[in-house]
Structure 1
Amino acid sequence: MALSRPLRIGIIAGEASGDLLGADLMAALQARHPEIQFEGIGGPRMQALGFHSHFDMEELSVMGLVEVLKHLPRLLSIRKQIVRHFIDNPPDVFIGIDAPDFNLGVERRLKEQGIKTVHYVSPSVWAWREKRVFKVKAATDLVLALLPFEKAFYDRHDHPCVFVGHPLADRMPLDVDVSGAWQALGLDESHPTLAVLPGSRGGEVARMAPLFKEVALRLKAQFPGLRFLIPAANAKRRAQIETVFAELPDTSVVDGQGREVMAASDAVLLASGTATLEAMLAKKPMVVAYQVHPFTYWLAKKLVRVKRFSLPNLLADADWVPELIQDDATPEAIAQAVAGALGEAQRENPARFRELHEQIRRNASERAAEAVLELTC
């Protein structure tokens, strides 16, 4: 596509996983148009590729109804300012990456001004409040879906959607290099190892890290030789995690390297989210546990229609991975489930996870870039 000026792309990514998706997409677009320009809100990975972020992405990384309410005035102010900026300086296309509660409002206002809009990562309209699909249709010209069942949903509702696959499935090899991960982390593979991932958001880590520490203490008593590896998403999360786990023996907190940590481990204990997919792609036994504010959970129970919430179980449409939520997420129950994961309880999962990996390994960032560029024509 011949352009008389550099293509301008607006992007908002609301958290670490969105920053990763955005960086992959940017790289694919830059390979086609080296002079392309990007701006909006993004994290360190996107900024390393030349992205101009008008606000700190960390300000958008808030989850849960009660938690969001505390930050609502600032979130509304940021949204108002970024919408005004893009209306005054229209991009060729705007891409909201995940964060639907924030991004769909931005997209709707921009679409009303004639700016083409894309939402990358479908909101969970298939899981709860299905009528939100009409909000998505009003806000977007195109949805880029990471999972196959999402495109089928949008097809039923007659809205443009492209199943691009998942970039993480492209980044991670089908065969996991466990020895390479050990070497990258400087580990002695003779010790059994548990990867512990309490989340990437500040509030999430504040909730989950103390619970996971109690689990780790029980497991240490049961398995004295067990080692714990905890990846930290950034310096702020590292400080949080080190404070909580300071007195846990045989524990290492590392900067980033979440995939290496999971690849090097015998099993994974983690909060819900994208990390469950990464653990699946690493072909590792896992236990998923999560807690939110009690009112947030009460409301979710009223609205959510799906029985499963971790991505491996959603993709498989089966209960392959233990999921412990809210009151069920006790230190005793989680420790028992992790002990099973360290043993033989999930011995069939590596082969099953490989099949799911192949299903969503579609060269996602390239397909997403092609869809975005086609929309700009």
Structure 2
Amino acid sequence: MARPLTVALVAGEASGDILGSGLMQALRSQHPDVEFVGIGGPRMEAQGLKPYFPMERLAVMGLVEVLGRLPELLARRKRLLKTFLDLRPDVFIGIDAPDFNLDLALRLRRNGIKTVHYVSPSVWAWRQKRVLKIRDACDLMLTLFPFEAKFYDEHQVSVRFVGHPLADTIPLAPDRVAARDALNLPQEGSIVALMPGSRGGEVGRLGELFIAAADRLRSMRPGIRFVVPCANPERRAQLEQMLVGRDLPLTLLDGRSHEALAACNAVLIASGTATLEALLYKRPMVVAYSVAPLTFRILKRMVRSPYVALPNLLAQRLLVPELLQDAATPEAMAQLLSPLLDNGDVQTEGFDAIHRTLRCDASNEAASAVLELVRAS
């Protein structure tokens, strides 16, 4: 009796877990006799993934910060490579985490295993020579954004633009009234969502800055309220500590970031996938980010793209303000946020067109591309 289609996947953080679970569900829908192995989070495990070790062991942020974890990461990748070579899955799918997954994919492909990378690294922005390694490592690149697919086409990498799953699930016209009801927030008055990131390091660098910006914004607009969705209990505890001694009309939420975005009038947000979510919810935003000083100096020399925030990359122009590193001051955040509460439409008028471009039934598109690759072998 033939074995089921065996798909190996490796996701390194929560966003990859979301993408991976959607892809797994679509693969099973299109090819019911399938088995999943590898690394993922709770969503991927709920879809039947048999994990080899916890996904959290791969989650690390920054260039300098990874150095302390490097021996463990290299050892885990070596063991995972041996496991996959012994198993010989029909296809390996690396989901984001390029520094970990692309080396793994390169060695698997050299041993005759089909390889897919889902979510392009920012190769178009910095370290562009990585595209040569990607061409060697991947039978297929699946991109979430059209400008990425264009870059790979120009560099002779097999690519499929599949759209973004968030664009499929987030409604084109979000319901602010229903969201405020669900969160027990008043229907009247302005609400700003503060979203300083999901990692401890991000919240450590941005949390107090965001709270100080909220203080300044409140002095400018006395009736304003704030909501802060917390990614997990650890981030909530971190933020609660930062709020000690402050008197802010602020509601901490356990998760529920999408409801917070639907409920608010504007967002102060860390650069990352959450900025795409804010765009899809059609909410005006100010984007901020801060990393270790040495990491920032290195990146500043290497990054070629004029933009950091996804809305700006998608629009190919400065659509939303970016406050990076020393520019990310509470005063600058408050000054940029305040006018958005009155005239946010000036910023968001192009958001709907971007949303529709990304609405491609991404998980099913990605699953179809993977199965076409497997069947072609």
Which residue does 2:315 correspond to in 1?
Answer: 316
Which residue does 2:225 correspond to in 1?
Answer: 227
Kindly report which structure 2 residues correspond to 1:262-341, keeping only aligned pairs within 5 A, or say none: 262-341=261-340
- Structure 1 letter corresponding to 2:117: H
Q: 2:129 aligns with which of 128, 131, 152?
A: 131
- Structure 1 letter corresponding to 2:303: V
Q: What is the CA–CA distance in structure 2 between the aligned matches of 1:298 and 1:91, rounded to whole Å?
A: 41
Q: 2:366 aligns with which of 352, 365, 368?
A: 368
- Structure 2 letter corresponding to 1:168: L
The answer to whether the Cα contact below 8 Å between 1:185 and 1:260 also exists between their aligned partners in 2 is yes
- Structure 2 letter corresponding to 1:365: S
Verify: 1:178 aligned to 2:173, yes or no: no
Kindly report which structure 2 residues correspond to 1:144-163, keeping only aligned pairs within 5 A, or say none: 144-163=142-161
Q: What is the CA–CA distance in structure 2 between the aligned matches of 1:311 and 1:248, rounded to whole Å?
A: 33
The answer to whether the Cα contact below 8 Å between 1:196 and 1:268 also exists between their aligned partners in 2 is yes
The answer to whether the Cα contact below 8 Å between 1:229 and 1:254 also exists between their aligned partners in 2 is yes
Which residue does 1:26 correspond to in 2?
Answer: 24
- Structure 2 letter corresponding to 1:9: V
Q: Secondary structure at the match of 1:40?
A: strand
Residue 248 (structure 1) shift: 4.7
Residue 177 (structure 1) shift: 1.5
CA 1:363–1:352: 2 relative to 1, 3 Å: same
Q: 1:67 aligns with which of 47, 65, 68?
A: 65
Residue 220 (structure 1) shift: 2.2
Q: What is the CA–CA distance in structure 2 between the aligned matches of 1:272 and 1:197, rounded to whole Å?
A: 10
- Structure 2 letter corresponding to 1:75: L
- Structure 2 letter corresponding to 1:229: V
Residue 234 (structure 1) shift: 2.2
Query: How many pairs were matched up?
Result: 374
Q: What is the CA–CA distance in structure 2 between the aligned matches of 1:257 and 1:88, rounded to whole Å?
A: 41
Q: 1:140 aligns with which of 138, 141, 144?
A: 138
The answer to whether the Cα contact below 8 Å between 1:179 and 1:264 also exists between their aligned partners in 2 is yes
Q: Using the TM superposition, name which of 47-56 and 123-132 deviates more.
A: 47-56
Q: Secondary structure at the match of 2:337?
A: helix
Q: Secondary structure at the match of 1:343?
A: helix
Which stretches of structure 1, 4 residues or more, deviate above 4 A after TM superposition? Answer: none
Q: 1:208 aligns with which of 206, 209, 228?
A: 206
The answer to whether the Cα contact below 8 Å between 1:291 and 1:329 also exists between their aligned partners in 2 is yes
Give structure 1 stretches of 5+ with no counterpart: none
CA deviation digits over 1:225-267, x for unaligned, max 9? 2221111222222222222234452222222221111110010
Q: Secondary structure at the match of 2:323?
A: strand
Which residue does 2:38 correspond to in 1?
Answer: 40
The answer to whether the Cα contact below 8 Å between 1:200 and 1:232 also exists between their aligned partners in 2 is yes
Matched-pair identity in %: 54
Q: Secondary structure at the match of 1:158?
A: coil
Q: What is the CA–CA distance in structure 2 between the aligned matches of 1:327 and 1:320, rounded to whole Å?
A: 21
Residue 150 (structure 1) shift: 1.0
Q: What is the CA–CA distance in structure 1 between the aligned matches of 2:368 and 2:243, rounded to whole Å?
A: 45
CA 1:241–1:59: 2 relative to 1, 3 Å: farther
Kindly report which structure 2 residues correspond to 1:186-205, keeping only aligned pairs within 5 A, or say none: 186-205=184-203
Q: What is the CA–CA distance in structure 2 between the aligned matches of 1:133 and 1:31, rounded to whole Å?
A: 32
**Structure 1-normalised TM-score?**
0.95
Q: Using the TM superposition, name which of 274-283 and 235-244 deviates more.
A: 235-244
CA deviation digits over 1:277-315, x for unaligned, max 9? 000000000000000111111111111111111111111
Residue 129 (structure 1) shift: 1.6
Residue 40 (structure 1) shift: 1.3
Residue 199 (structure 1) shift: 0.8
CA 1:369–1:268: 2 relative to 1, 3 Å: same
CA 1:98–1:355: 2 relative to 1, 3 Å: same
The answer to whether the Cα contact below 8 Å between 1:16 and 1:200 also exists between their aligned partners in 2 is no
CA deviation digits over 1:56-83, x for unaligned, max 9? 2222221111111122122222212222
- Structure 2 letter corresponding to 1:187: L
The answer to whether the Cα contact below 8 Å between 1:283 and 1:349 also exists between their aligned partners in 2 is no
Q: Secondary structure at the match of 1:307?
A: coil
Residue 222 (structure 1) shift: 2.1
Q: What is the CA–CA distance in structure 2 between the aligned matches of 1:248 and 1:72, rounded to whole Å?
A: 42
CA 1:240–1:34: 2 relative to 1, 3 Å: farther
Q: What is the CA–CA distance in structure 2 between the aligned matches of 1:254 and 1:52, rounded to whole Å?
A: 31
Kindly report which structure 2 residues correspond to 1:107-126, keeping only aligned pairs within 5 A, or say none: 107-126=105-124
- Structure 1 letter corresponding to 2:254: D
Q: What is the CA–CA distance in structure 2 between the aligned matches of 1:104 and 1:185, rounded to whole Å?
A: 41
- Structure 1 letter corresponding to 2:100: F
Q: Secondary structure at the match of 1:348?
A: helix
Q: 1:237 aligns with which of 227, 235, 249?
A: 235
